[in-house]
Amino acid sequence: MLEAARLLLKGEGYETRTARSPAALLAALDGEDFDAVLMDMNYSRDTTSGQEGLDLLPRILAQDPTLPVIVMTAWGSVDKAVEAMRRGARDFIEKPWDNARLAATVRTQVELARALRHGQRLETENRLLRPAGAPTLIAGSAAMQPVLRLMERVAPSDANVLIMGEHGTGKEVVAHWIHAASARAERPLVTVNVGGLSEGVFESELFGHVKGAFTDARTDRIGRFELADGGTIFLDEIGNLAPAQQARLLRVLQAGEFERVGSSRTKRVDVRVLAATNLDLHGETAAGRFREDLLFRLNTIEIHLPPLRERRDDIPPLAVHFLERYAARYGKRGLRFAPDALAALRAFDWPGNVRELDHAIERAVLMASGPAVGVADLGLHDRAGAAPDLEAMPLEEVEAVLIRKALARHGGNVSLAAKALGLSRSALYRRLERHGL
């Protein structure tokens, strides 16, 4: 059996080691690093209880908690395999095994373990290398390396930065990272979704107002730019600003000056501006929908974030990261991915990008009823555009499905999706937040 498994895995491209006893296995683990362990539950000729394997499991995991252990058990002894999985095994194979299933199981567990270790390594690097307070960036793919290098170069400066990318690619995370790596890190980072501000509250939100400036102005109010003085302001969804709002914003970017609504007193602020959009502002400028002079003020440096479908190597570590976060939040520690779940995650195109992946994993953790997250828990069939039974769904879920479809149809463009749904941008933003999209 050892030789048969060795030859099978060799044909799959794996280098293997064999061991004939628990002591030999532990000695091998002590001397080398391995991607997975495939082990029987019994080692003595007169033993069929599986207790030897159950006793060996904690000793293996004590040496390397990230090492996936796949147990082998005779047909009809599945209860022993289930007990082994409760004690930390990742999967099981019935004997006599099916070659294709064994190879697929090993491949999946190796990939999962590598993703987990990669995520842990990135987290360690982030703790050691990233500025204090910067958010975790899981970005090991080749597509993200130029982005990371550009972020490291521009963060210490005071240059305004325009962050561009599809809906949900992590633009706000990048903005927080840049602020934390700047000389302004000890000062405030003020975030405002300018695309979601209506005409009536835009100036009051950004620049503040004085008592009596309008009917509901019962006291003076400080605006976002004044709050960010000495620090950084992050203007999200900047591409959705109406022309009149663009003109009002341009002055404070040009001169650092503004007046509160209802006041003639000019205030000055020293603020670094980070802005983000999922629109092509160069195209919007050419079409006359965005002011060229405002674009020049915003894009001293441009950072383009690739969509998740162009950085698929980041999907496994991101998925593991989200799984650990939500498993801890919802009291399901030890939850893991089933063999086919990670492959399904990697194959999916994720029109909502990292935000949609985050939401899918949270849903899966809540839906999972066993020790592992399965493909059905992820709900990818709805996300992939299959026709769900809308009549059987609650209204809240129907709305979420329609919103996802509208965003996917328009490439994540919130303005176009809102128009297709007959909503204002601000109304769609409220619904996106409510549905975790």
Q: Report the C-alpha gap between 405 and 410 in whole angstroms.
A: 9
For residue 20, being part of any structural domain is answered with: yes
- What digits encode the pLDDT tens for the residues 268-310? 999 999 999 999 999 999 889 999 999 999 999 999 999 999 9
- What digits encode the pLDDT tens for the residues 183-200? 999 888 999 999 888 877
Distances (CA, A) of 337 to 84, 160, 340: 16, 41, 8
For residue 96, being part of any structural domain is answered with: yes
| Average pLDDT of the residues of the chain | 84
Burial class for 1, CB neighbours closer than 10 Å (0-12, 13-18, 19+): exposed
What does the angle CA 395 – CA 396 – CA 397 come to, to the nearest 5 degrees?
90
For residue 290, being part of any structural domain is answered with: yes
Instruction: Check whether residue 117 and residue 90 sit in a common domain.
Output: yes
Q: What is the pTM of this model?
A: 0.65
Q: 297: which DSSP letter?
A: H
Residue ending a domain, choose from 72, 93, 122: 122
Instruction: Check whether residue 108 and residue 81 sit in a common domain.
Output: yes
Q: Report the C-alpha gap between 247 and 253 in whole angstroms.
A: 10
DSSP secondary structure string for all residues of 331-398: T-TT-EE-TTHHHHHHHS--TTHHHHHHHHHHHHHHH--SSEE-HHHHTHHHHTT----GGGS-HHHH
Candidate from 234-243, 335-344, 390-399, 423-432 with smallest mean pLDDT: 390-399
Instruction: Check whether residue 106 and residue 136 sit in a common domain.
Output: no
**Mean pLDDT, range 423-434, rounded to an integer:** 78
- What digits encode the pLDDT tens for the residues 124-146? 555 444 455 556 788 889 999 99
Res 387 pLDDT > 60: no
Residue ending a domain, choose from 239, 274, 306: 306
Res 98 pLDDT > 70: yes
For residue 177, being part of any structural domain is answered with: yes
For residue 127, being part of any structural domain is answered with: no
For residue 248, being part of any structural domain is answered with: yes
CATH code of the domain in which 102 resides: 3.40.50.2300
Res 215 pLDDT > 80: no
- What digits encode the pLDDT tens for the residues 332-369? 888 988 878 888 898 888 988 999 999 999 989 998 88
Q: 190: which DSSP letter?
A: E
**Mean pLDDT, range 165-187, rounded to an integer:** 92
Instruction: Check whether residue 116 and residue 153 sit in a common domain.
Output: no
- What digits encode the pLDDT tens for the residues 18-41? 998 888 999 888 878 889 999 988
Which amino acid, one-letter code, is at 388? P
- What digits encode the pLDDT tens for the residues 308-327? 999 999 999 999 999 999 99
Contact 353, 347 (CB under 8 A): no
Percent of the chain scoring above 90 in pLDDT: 37
Contact 65, 96 (CB under 8 A): no
Instruction: Check whether residue 154 and residue 80 sit in a common domain.
Output: no
How high is the pLDDT of residue 129?
A: 44
For residue 234, being part of any structural domain is answered with: yes
Instruction: Check whether residue 314 and residue 394 sit in a common domain.
Output: yes
Instruction: Check whether residue 145 and residue 265 sit in a common domain.
Output: yes
Q: Which position has the higher pLDDT, 187 or 423?
A: 187
Domain span at residue 340? 309-434
- What digits encode the pLDDT tens for the residues 366-382? 988 888 898 888 888 65
Instruction: Check whether residue 187 and residue 227 sit in a common domain.
Output: yes
How high is the pLDDT of residue 225?
A: 92
Q: Report the C-alpha gap between 391 and 405 in whole angstroms.
A: 17
Residue ending a domain, choose from 97, 122, 147: 122
Specify which residues 373 forms β-bridges with: 337
Percent of the chain scoring above 70 in pLDDT: 88
Specify which residues 193 forms β-bridges with: 236
Task: State the total domains in the chain.
Answer: 3
Instruction: Check whether residue 141 and residue 284 sit in a common domain.
Output: yes
For residue 170, being part of any structural domain is answered with: yes
CATH code of the domain in which 371 resides: 1.10.8.60
Contacts of 422 (CB under 8 A, 6+ apart): none
Instruction: Check whether residue 24 and residue 84 sit in a common domain.
Output: yes
Instruction: Check whether residue 301 and residue 314 sit in a common domain.
Output: no
CA 417 to chain centre: 22
User: Which band of pLDDT confidence, cut at 50, 70 and 90, is reported for residue 16?
Assistant: very high
How high is the pLDDT of residue 304?
A: 96
Instruction: Check whether residue 285 and residue 330 sit in a common domain.
Output: no
Q: Report the C-alpha gap between 70 and 39 in whole angstroms.
A: 6
